[in-house]
Amino acid sequence: MISVAIDGPGGAGKSTAARAAAERTGLKYMDTGAIYRSLGRYLRRSGVDIDREEAVAAALPALDVEVFYNEEGQQIRINGEDMLPYIRTPEAGDAASRTSAYGCVRDKLLQLQRDTAERYSVIMDGRDIGTVVLPNADLKIYITADPQERGRRRFLELWERGRRDITLEGVTEEIRQRDERDRKRPIAPLRRAEDARLLDTTNRSPEEVTELICTWIREKEAEQ
């Protein structure tokens, strides 16, 4: 069993590289941002005032969050509803960033993430994986890239998904605000774990990033 923790800000290329590296190395990939997005989106759609922690805390006990795997990879259901079709939007990202700052939300999702790492060899990506969720991970990587480049990547991703109501400036600014919120929150803020390897992807292709991560994973596996 091996566990790999990947953290970093939005648009740095974490999920693309983590998913590809997991496929190549046979590890399970857990996208923890997708879980926070699902929960944030579900809460907002249910009419909960997500800017009030008490309102979110009151709504949480009635929500059954399930994460499981099938041939298409990680699946997320809340109260039986498949959330994946609704979470790759800036609105879901915003709801995730706001609600994930609350201790009650983080507590609800912590064990779910740790259970997966206990059951499988995993690559998990998020903001606090190396610092909070899996502090004893075998390999920790902090992935980053220049803010302009991260904005450009997120813009292209959304454009390719058919969004035509966005601008590069708007997406870049949104990412900047979200990072600032994720970094400054008191509970489980985004930060590099002291023992995490730093990987700047600004001038690296997704293929290079994936290859580098696979090399590090194989090295760790060889040590075990």
- In order, the DSSP letters of 28-62 are EEEEHHHHHHHHHHHHHHTT--TT-HHHHHHHGGG
E strands in the chain: 3-7, 28-31, 65-70, 73-78, 81-82, 122-126, 139-144, 197-200
Contact yes or no for 35/154 (Cβ under 8 A): no
- The residue among 108 and 127 lying less far from ligand DC, judged by its C-beta, is 127
Residues that bind ligand DC (CB under 6 A): 10, 32-33, 36-37, 93, 96-97, 100, 126-129, 178, 182
Comparison of 43 and 129: residue with beta carbon closer to ligand DC? 129
Nearer to ligand DC, 148 or 215 (CB): 148
Shortest separation between residue 32's beta carbon and ligand DC, angstroms: 4
Closest by Cα among 70, 68, 62, 66 to 78? 66
Of 176 and 221, which has the nearer Cβ to ligand DC? Answer: 176
Query: Least distance (Å) from ligand DC to the CB of residue 14?
Result: 7
Query: Least distance in Å: CB of 36 to ligand DC?
Result: 4
Least separation, in Å, of the C-beta of 224 and ligand DC? 25
